[in-house]
Chains A and B, each alone.
Chain A
Amino acid sequence: MFLINCPYCGERDQQEFKAGGEAHIERPKQPTELSDDEWAEYLFMRKNIKGVQFERWNHAHGCRKWFNMVRDTSNDEIKAIYKMGEKPPSQ
């Protein structure tokens, strides 16, 4: 059970949060201009890394804010947490 440091509320138990998948996948600004393959790339393809992964999390049962997390999926170490729109820390 992780202890997650919500950038708005502070440390809270994992059960207050919802994981939201891989981070930094921007919704295309002009979807209609994309080919089927390009759209499918955005829609379906995710890395699912074993190791350091950038992910989105939501403080669903708290402030409802979304934020980003850098987590090592092999040992669940949370390496960094930062707000939406902020630059990801360099690896």
Chain B
Amino acid sequence: MTKNLRVKSSEYIDETNRISFKFNGKTYHGFKGDTLASALLANDVHLVGRSFKYHRPRGIMTSGSEEPNAIVQVNPGTNRTEPNVRATEVEIYEGLEASSQNCWPSVEFDIGGINNFLSPFFPAGFYYKTFMWPASFWEKYEFFIRHSAGLGKSPTSSDPDIYDHRNVHCDVLVVGAGISGILAAKYAAKNNFKTLIVDEKNELGGSTIFENNEFNKIDNKTPSEWLKKEIEELKGIKNLEIKTRTSVAAYHQYNYLLARENLTDHLETKDKTNKIRQRLLKIRAKKVILATGALERPLIFNNNDRPGIMLSSAIKRYSEFYGVACGSKNIFFTNNDSAYESALSLYNKGIHVEAVIDIRDQSESKIVKKVEEAGIKIYWSHTIVDTAGYKRLNSVSIMKLSNDGTSVTGSKISISCDCLGVAGGWTPAVHLYTQSGSKLKFDEEKQIFLPNQNTSEQISVGSCGGDFKIDEIIKNLNQKLKDKLNIKETNLDNIKVEIDQENSKRNIWLLPSDIPLGKTKPFVDFQNDATAKDIKLALREGFRSIEHVKRYTTTGMGTDQGKLGNMHALGIIADTAGVKMGELGTTTFRPPYTPLTFGTIVGRNVGKFFDIFRKTPMNDWHVENKAEFENVGQWKRAWYYPINGENMHQAVQRESKAARESAGILDASTLGKIDIQGSDASEFLNRIYTNAWSKLAIGKCRYGLMLNEDGMVYDDGVTTRLGENHYLMTTTTGGAANVLGKLEDYLQTEWPELDVYLTSVTDHYATASLCGPNSKKILKKIISNLDLSDESFPHMSFKEAKIGNIQCRIMRISFTGEHSYEINVQASYGKDLWEKCMEAGKEFNITPYGTETMHLLRAEKGFIIVGQDTDGTMTPIDLQMDWIISKKKYDFIGKRSLYRSDTMREDRKQLVGLLTDDPNIVLEEGAQIVSELNQNPVEMLGHVTSSYFSPNLNKSIALAVVRGGKDMMGKKLFVPMENKNINVTIANPVFYDEKNERLNA
């Protein structure tokens, strides 16, 4: 039976609502309002995990999001399981289960604990040093490291919860709802600023809400009483939104902040269903008021990590807020007055405090006197030199500290205890402040980093701004609000504050022991098991930059980003290296402040919304007819249409033959389409394409190649002149958006004098490409009144027509080398058009074909695909397309670059055809081409860009880029593969119908 350490009812704990939960398989009880940490402590459970490297037993250290040790797996084995959750932040509910991480087989008996005894062999940089070589051993090392590491388990089935994103705009965002945040929000909202205040906890009030120190008074009330009234008032103010359980994860430039609002994590499982679990708030605030408070520092001494050693402020919160005693025999260890508040809080609740160990030699404050009067022994000028107790602290050893604080003297006193509260002073929580790009300055007197140079409209108030005493907080807050928000007067002007607290503090970053440092374990980063020893070792090994020491020792690199120990790491480095803290600088705090779930980050963009696809108007038909799809840019395109169990090769061979022998139909709707209008449209095309456009007659089409300014092929497509000042350009499917962007760029920035307007019409038209010797007959059946004779409607021309009442644009153009038509209708008629073509083509065995057949058919003709046969390093000359470069035009984009010495090199890679000596071997795209097999290293001449088995030629064909290939016609080369060398011959890239006779067939 475990002890019950519930001491006194607290207004934040509902003792009428008893909750049972499981931790490491054992059932415990707590109350509504408890966190997992407070409920475990109430059951006298301190041991909750094992440390990362040495697997040392670790307990709950804090009461908030800075917790380094009490990291648990919530609801293990379920699809809602979550690793790396801080027990100090989990609100318990009926049925909650949690388990320790980083231990096997159990937290009580952990195999990895052997590392603790092997620790002399695990110094800083151990992993770097040991696992570096031989490289071939890495797989074994990785297996070992992964099995002994194990920071939690990720869920194995999909997340049942809903996540959400919301954009929030406000005048003032207040981060943190302690005393300063509450007052800031109150006056901001009252002065007509639309205000949002967020706090990561479920209750407002920060630590002042349980500040019952009788020596501190605001308007003659205890700070706790006074603040409660303020909070009551806050709830009625319009213009003000309050969000609890909301943690700001990131503070980016221009006052853009990301916050995670937790909506259901505290609810019972049955109440979580169909609700939004977490919401990411994307906040744009005109002004930000940071009231993020301060984190208590631990003290760094030998064996300072045992379960039962906690922050003094956490002990106070557990006692005052949760009504839980963390131990029955308590000791405090401090360098300032705040431990005495915790001691008194326990004393007032009847919990035994054995002693206070203070490294200072005295303090004059009333609270210290009060502790003395209570009969609690104070050891002045003493330090802890060691602690004992493996799974729970059972005693501490203390010695007298030398005057300079570097050594200990006298005899050792051992004091038994089961809980030790350490108080090392306070570190302003400036994490968000620095994330915003603002700069800190080190205050040598207070030994803290403080906000110095703000980069955006923001202020830091309260203890995160360096004000720790209530009178200072209120006075400075009042002034900052008046300055920043232009407020004339506030009720804070005449407020009466009495305080009792001495500033006196003695800062020693690493406390000495009678045992040599090499044999001690003074932990600096509890989560990553980095000790003061490791930091000193890093310095001895030559590391100087704080960022390097951090990475080498892994200090501050855990999921808690070293919130507790970073300052000590800096202090130890500064002391050892003999430099000032201010000169050392800090490490960078990176978002998120506390870890975010993947669910929160992706929000609703999961499943089919993860990456949105574009579909053509004919898509349903393709689906109904069992097409296989491929992704092209954002589009889903029909790839091939298998029938009777065909594989891809069989389907493509059939489709390719049908298109050449009778009729094929392709959904070409995805091609980019840009409508170009204006009196300078022809001139514009002259400048952007390599060929000439002015003389293109109305109703005619022309193929164009577009270059980058560096002379490399960028895009291609057919453009049709619809009218005197009206063109319709087509682009590649993937290039549409970029081409439009590029054209706009030139129009707006280089040639604003041109009268040209560009409109993307890609989505406005559906396009069916009808091809093959019977395409004309099929089109005739659909549109009987159109003259399709070669005289009236020749290759590379355009006609407007009507199919029934549907207006359509028909281009007689061909990407396959066959007689073909591209029929464009308004997108909404796309499927109708397609079905009409299929119906009319039935008697000709019309065959739908997909992108794979399209690629094969064009390869038979040697037509390039930009992005497949080109890669951003190919000029039109490299492609042997010299014919498309106008010799007459003075200028076009990329022209000058075609005459650079590099682009004129004879030995550039050039596009050629490639035939295998064995016609049945199909080359692999991307395969390398060489001329010598016995060279070492072998010289690569080029590679295969397109390769297919052509059913129409009954042999394999390929396109390739080969160095100097233009002049190598007929040359024998090799394609070396893993198991064989393939003999190939350079050929004309036009493999089929070289004379283009089929266009008019």
B221: interface (CB < 8 Å): no
Q: Does B418 contact A (CB under 8 A)?
A: no
Residues A66 and B253 in contact, CB atoms below 8 Å apart: no
Contacts of B253 in A (CB 8 A): 1-2, 76
Find chain A residues with CB under 8 A from B455 CB.
75, 77
Decide if B749 touches A84 in the complex (CB within 8 Å).
Answer: yes
B919 within 8 A of A: no
> Which parts of A6-53 form the interface with B (CB within 8 Å)?
13, 18, 20, 26-27, 30-32, 34, 36, 39-40, 43
Interface residue ranges of A56-85 to B (CB < 8 Å): 56, 58, 60, 64-66, 75-77, 84-85
Residues from chain B with a CB closer than 8 A to the CB of A43 are 709-710, 897
Cα separation A65 to B255 with both chains bound (whole Å)? 25
B252 at the interface (CB under 8 A from A): yes
Contact A36 B284 (CB under 8 A): no
- The answer to whether B926 has its CB under 8 Å from any CB of chain A is no
User: Within B248-296, which residues are at the interface with A (CB < 8 Å)?
Assistant: 252-256, 284
Chain B, 799-857, CB within 8 A of any chain A CB: none
Give the docked Cα–Cα distance between A66 and B746 (Å). Answer: 10
Q: Is the CB of A56 within 8 A of B749?
A: yes
Q: Given the complex of chains A and B, what is the CA–CA distance between A87 and B252 in angstroms?
A: 31
Smallest Cβ distance from A73 to chain B, in angstroms? 12
Could you tell me if A84 and B748 are in contact, using CB atoms closer than 8 angstroms? yes
Q: How would residues 448 to 485 of chain B score, 1 for a CB under 8 Å from any chain A CB and 0 otherwise?
A: 00000001000000000000000000000000000000
| Cβ of B598 to closest chain A Cβ, rounded Å | 20
Please give, as numbers and ranges, the residues of chain A lying within 8 Å of B897 by CB-CB distance.
39, 43
The CA-CA distance from A76 to B253 in the complex, in Å, is 8
Smallest beta-carbon distance B741→chain A, Å: 7
Q: How far is the CA of A76 from the CA of B284 in the complex (A)?
A: 17
Q: A64-B744, A76-B437, A84-B749 are in contact. Are A32 and B252 (CB under 8 A)?
A: no
Task: Contact check, B284 vs A3: say whether CB atoms are below 8 A apart.
Answer: yes
Chain B residue nearest to A39 in the complex (CB): B896
Verify A32–B896 contact, CB threshold 8 A.
Answer: yes
B994 at the interface (CB under 8 A from A): no
Contacts of A20 in B (CB 8 A): 745
A4 to B: closest C-beta gap in Å: 9
For the complex, what is the distance from the CA of A39 to the CA of B900, rounded to whole Å?
A: 9
Residues of A near B895 (CB, < 8 A) are 31-32
Shortest B235–chain A CB gap in Å is: 31
Quick one: which of B896-942 are within 8 Å of A by CB?
896-897, 899-901
Is B750 in the interface zone, CB < 8 Å from A? yes
Interface check B160, CB cutoff 8 A: no
User: In whole Å, how far is B971's beta carbon from the nearest beta carbon of chain A?
Assistant: 32
Residues of B within 8 A of A39 (CB): 896-897, 900
A-chain residues with CB within 8 Å of residue B749 when the two chains form the complex: 56, 66, 84
A79 CB to closest chain B CB (Å) equals 13
Within 8 A of A (CB), among B416-437: 437
CB-based A-B contact count at 8 angstroms:
57
Could you tell me the distance between the alpha carbons of A77 and B749 in the complex, rounded to whole angstroms? 24
Whole-angstrom distance between the alpha carbons of A76 and B256 in the complex?
Answer: 13
How many of B's residues come within 8 Å of A, CB to CB? 25
CB of B896 within 8 A of CB of A3, answer no
Query: In the complex, are the beta carbons of B741 and A1 less than 8 A apart?
Result: no
Contact in complex: B256, A1 (CB < 8 Å) = yes
In the complex the two chains form, is B256's CB within 8 Å of A31's CB?
no
CA distance A66 to B743 in the complex (A): 12
Min Cβ gap B249→A in Å is 13
Contact B741 A60 (CB under 8 A): yes
Size band of the interface chain A makes with B: 20 to 34
The interface residues of chain A lying within 8 Å CB-to-CB of B437 are: 75-76
Give the distance in Å from the alpha carbon of A18 to the alpha carbon of B897 in the complex.
Answer: 26
Q: How many whole Å from A21's CB to the nearest CB in chain B?
A: 10
The answer to whether the Cβ of B890 comes within 8 Å of any Cβ in the partner chain is: yes
CA distance A66 to B748 in the complex (A): 7
Chain B residues near A58 (CB-CB < 8 A): 741, 744-745
B547 on the interface (CB 8 Å rule)? no
Q: Say yes or no: is B891 at the interface (Cβ < 8 Å to chain A).
A: yes
Q: Nearest chain-A residue to B709 (Cβ)? A: A43
Please name all residues of chain B whose beta carbon is closer than 8 Å to the beta carbon of A64 when the two chains form the complex. 741, 744
In the assembled complex, B752 has its CB within 8 A of some CB on chain A: yes
Q: How far is the CA of A56 from the CA of B748 in the complex (A)?
A: 12
Report the Cα distance A34→B899, complex, angstroms: 11
| Closest Cβ neighbor of B250 among chain A residues | A1
Q: How far is the CA of A39 from the CA of B896 in the complex (A)?
A: 8
- B256: nearest chain-A partner, CB-CB: A1
Closest to A18 in B: B741
Q: How far is the CB of B748 from the nearest CB of chain A, in Å?
A: 5
* B21 smallest CB distance to A (angstroms): 40
A64 to B455, alpha carbons, bound, how many Å?
Answer: 29
Q: Complex Cα distance A58/B748, Å?
A: 10
Interchain CB contact under 8 A, B745 and A2 = no
Closest to B892 in A: A31
Flag if B256 contacts A34 (CB, 8 Å): no
Q: Mark B741-783, 1 if CB is under 8 A from A, else 0.
A: 1001100111010000000000000000000000000000000
Q: Which residue of A lies closest to B438 (CB)?
A: A75
Complex-state Cα separation, A2 to B732, whole angstroms: 33
Min CB distance B929 to A, Å, is 30
> In the bound complex, how far is the Cα of B252 from the Cα of A13, in angstroms?
12
Complex: chain A residue closest to B455, CB-CB: A75
How many angstroms from the CA of A85 to the CA of B751 in the assembled complex? 11
* B188–chain A nearest beta-carbon distance, Å: 20
- A56 to B284 Cα, complex, angstroms: 24
The smallest C-beta distance from B738 to any residue of chain A, in angstroms, reads 10
Find chain B residues with CB under 8 A from A75 CB: 437, 455
Q: Which residue of B lies closest to A20 (CB)?
A: B745
Give min CB distance, A19 to chain B, whole Å: 12
Contact of A36 among B741, B748, B901 (CB under 8 A): B901
Q: Which residues of A contact B900 (CB under 8 A)?
A: 36, 39-40
- Assess A1 versus B252: contact at CB under 8 Å? Given A56-B749, A58-B741, A66-B744: yes
Distance in Å from the Cβ of A45 to the closest Cβ of chain B?
13
| Shortest distance between the CB of A52 and any CB in chain B (Å) | 15
Instruction: Quote the shortest CB–CB distance from B860 to chain A (angstroms).
Output: 37
The reply to whether B752 and A85 form a contact with Cβ atoms under 8 Å apart is: yes
Question: A27 with B748: in contact, given A36-B900, A39-B896, A43-B710 (CB under 8 Å)?
Answer: no
B750 in complex: contacting residue of A27, A30, A32, A34, CB < 8 Å: A27
**Chain A residues with Cβ under 8 A from B891's Cβ?**
30-32
Complex-state Cα separation, A16 to B781, whole angstroms: 48
CA–CA, A2 and B891, complex, Å: 38
Chain A residues in 8 Å Cβ range of B710: 43
Interfacial chain A residues near B709, Cβ < 8 Å: 27, 43
Tell whether, in the assembled complex, residue A3 and residue B256 are in contact, meaning their CB atoms are under 8 Å apart.
yes
A48 to chain B, nearest CB (A): 18
Contact A84 to B752, CB < 8 A, known contacts A39-B900, A58-B741, A66-B745? yes
Question: Which residues of B, 207-222, contact A by the 8 Å Cβ criterion?
Answer: none
CB distance from A72 to the nearest CB of B (A): 10
Minimum Cβ distance to chain B for residue A1 (Å): 4
User: Can you show 22 pairs from A to B with CB atoms below 8 A apart?
Assistant: A2-B254, A3-B254, A3-B255, A3-B284, A13-B256, A18-B741, A27-B709, A31-B896, A32-B895, A32-B899, A34-B896, A39-B896, A40-B900, A58-B744, A64-B744, A65-B748, A66-B749, A75-B437, A75-B455, A77-B455, A84-B752, A85-B752
Given contacts A27-B750, A58-B741, A66-B749, 13 further A-B contacts (CB under 8 A): A1-B253, A2-B254, A3-B284, A18-B741, A31-B895, A32-B899, A36-B900, A36-B901, A58-B745, A64-B744, A76-B253, A84-B749, A85-B752
* Complex A-B, nearest 9 residue pairs according to Cβ-Cβ distance, in ascending order: A31-B896, A3-B254, A1-B256, A66-B748, A27-B750, A1-B252, A39-B896, A76-B253, A66-B749
A contact set with B: CB distance below 8 Å: 1-3, 13, 18, 20, 26-27, 30-32, 34, 36, 39-40, 43, 56, 58, 60, 64-66, 75-77, 84-85
